[in-house]
Structure 1
Amino acid sequence: MPGLLLGDTFPDFEAETTTGTIKFHEFLGDSWGILFSHPRDYTPVCTTELGRAARLSGEFSKRGVKMIALSIDHLEDHYGWTEDILAYNCEESPCCSLPFPIIADSKRELAVALGMLDPDEKDKNGMPLTARCVSVFVIGPDKKLKLSFLYPATTGRNFDEILRVVDSLQMTADRRVATPADWKPGDCVMVPPNLSEEEAAALFPEGVYTKELPSGKKYLRYTPQP
């Protein structure tokens, strides 16, 4: 299903992973989920990314988020690569197990179905690689796509940013607020324009303040994070 849009139900699929066969929706259960793809095992940028993801796994777990990766190699390659990923974090010998599974997609079937192939990135045989193009998917407990990131193969993903957007997505799913540019947990949030002054006052007892603008329109309204 190429061209997944925000709000689409994320496809269910069965796949072989480093922790056994999974059915994706069953794997997620009632949790949030993040699926991120990689073009090949034993690639340098991807090794640092999965190492960073492993290091931050406790933070994702605290937020009720399950992570899963995909790479277009066989399980045997994934097992060997995992040792390198862990060693990246631990300097010496690997000291723990990878806290999330890696999907084996050697035939590229899942990568094609999810629209992860980058026509401009090829392997040594001329085959398209799975890229970081439309390949960071954040999925809600309702199995709908909440957010996707686009990255080229040469730019490593920022997992602190992924954590930040998860915090925003989870809060705005439960509260009638939005988050402004560069928002971080603890900062003030924004009151949506579809709330009247009376509704906003009732919903946000800590107060709502409005930024004065040259237009005179009172649409930039802020309140402390609920």
Structure 2
Amino acid sequence: MTKPLLINDIAPDFEAETQLGPIKFSEYAKGSWVIFFSHPRDFTPVCTTELARAAQLQDEFARRGVKMLAISCDDVDSHKSWVADVSAYGKAEVKYPIVADPERKIAKLYHMLPAEAPGHDAMPFTVRSVLIMDDTRRIRAMVTYPAPIGRNFDELLRVVDALQVSDRLHCATPVDWKPGAKVIVPSSVPDDVVGKNFANGLEVVDLPSKKAYLRYGTHHAS
């Protein structure tokens, strides 16, 4: 059994067929961030709604330098038929590739399969995994839902925003953060970086402990 993938791991390379043609993942991902999301199978209701929402957000992810990549455990012919339903439902063309993985090889490589259910001999469907990778193919965030539960793609877009602003400003983001809101500036950030990124200074929260560790800074969304 391969080691589970962890945040900061380099995502493994693979070659696969998609409804848009063959891809080699390392070449597809080169120089871009990538959001890679798995689906149990084609022509299933939750998956159709998710892929449609992903199609609606293609331009938003692209503005952030993020390529989209889906995977579903059916073959290419099935994918080609399915995208017509997805596009019709979401009123948006599916421009991102959907990896065909009928033998679950890539799902196994990326640990997108659930634990075996007792007394269930059928090949398991993939769970709803998401991996967000930066432009070095390093995994920066991961989330996994069970097969029956649809994901929130607006939240995934928010995670990308948070990661990218954190990288740019050497900051962290507080609970329920949205682009343009105040960010947290850890005490470990050097003063020269604070002065460069937060010219208006910091707001230190007065806490009962009297420890000045919760500091907010204001930035402007770019």
3-state DSSP of counterpart to 2:62: helix
Q: Which one of 134, 143, 153 corresponds to residue 159 of structure 1? A: 153
How far is 1:200 from its partner?
A: 3.0
The 5 A counterparts of 1:112-191 are 112-119=108-115, 126-132=122-128, 135-191=129-185
3-state DSSP of counterpart to 1:162: helix
CA gap 1:82/1:31 in 2 versus in 1, 3 angstroms: same
CA gap 1:68/1:196 in 2 versus in 1, 3 angstroms: closer
Counterpart of 1:114, as a letter, is Y
Q: Which residue of 1 aligns with 2:204?
A: 210
Q: Which residue of 2 aligns with 1:34?
A: 35
How far is 1:198 from its partner?
A: 6.8
How far is 1:191 from its partner?
A: 0.6
* Length, aligned pairs only: 218
- Return the TM-score normalized by structure 1: 0.91
| Range that drifts further, 155-164 or 169-178 | 169-178
CA gap 1:16/1:46 in 2 versus in 1, 3 angstroms: same
Q: Which residue of 1 aligns with 2:93?
A: 97
Structure 1 vs Structure 2 CA RMSD? 1.8
CA gap 1:121/1:218 in 2 versus in 1, 3 angstroms: same
The 5 A counterparts of 1:12-51 are 12-51=13-52
Counterpart of 1:25, as a letter, is S
Q: 2:61 and 2:197 mapped to 1: Cα distance? A: 29
Residues 5, 145 of structure 1: 8 Å contact kept = yes
How far is 1:225 from its partner?
A: 1.8
Residues 29, 67 of structure 2: 8 Å contact kept = yes
Q: Which runs of 5+ in 2 are unaligned?
A: none
Residues 32, 65 of structure 2: 8 Å contact kept = yes
| Range that drifts further, 191-200 or 44-53 | 191-200
CA gap 1:78/1:192 in 2 versus in 1, 3 angstroms: same
Q: 1:2 and 1:151 mapped to 2: Cα distance? A: 20
Q: 2:115 and 2:190 mapped to 1: Cα distance? A: 48
3-state DSSP of counterpart to 2:140: strand
Residues 9, 144 of structure 1: 8 Å contact kept = yes
Q: 2:45 and 2:210 mapped to 1: Cα distance? A: 52
CA gap 1:78/1:125 in 2 versus in 1, 3 angstroms: farther
Counterpart of 1:177, as a letter, is C
CA gap 1:189/1:28 in 2 versus in 1, 3 angstroms: same
Q: 1:125 and 1:3 mapped to 2: Cα distance? A: 23
Q: 2:41 and 2:117 mapped to 1: Cα distance? A: 11
How far is 1:119 from its partner?
A: 2.7
3-state DSSP of counterpart to 2:145: coil
- Return the TM-score normalized by structure 2: 0.92
3-state DSSP of counterpart to 1:118: coil
CA deviations on 1:53-96 (whole Å, 9 max, x unpaired) are 00111101111100010001010110111011011123xxxxx6
Residues 34, 68 of structure 1: 8 Å contact kept = yes
Q: 1:87 and 1:2 mapped to 2: Cα distance? A: 40
Q: Which runs of 5+ in 1 are unaligned?
A: 91-95
Counterpart of 2:95, as a letter, is P
Q: Which residue of 1 aligns with 2:215?
A: 221
User: Percent of counterpart pairs with the same letter?
Assistant: 47
CA deviations on 1:158-199 (whole Å, 9 max, x unpaired) are 010000010011111122111111000010111112135676
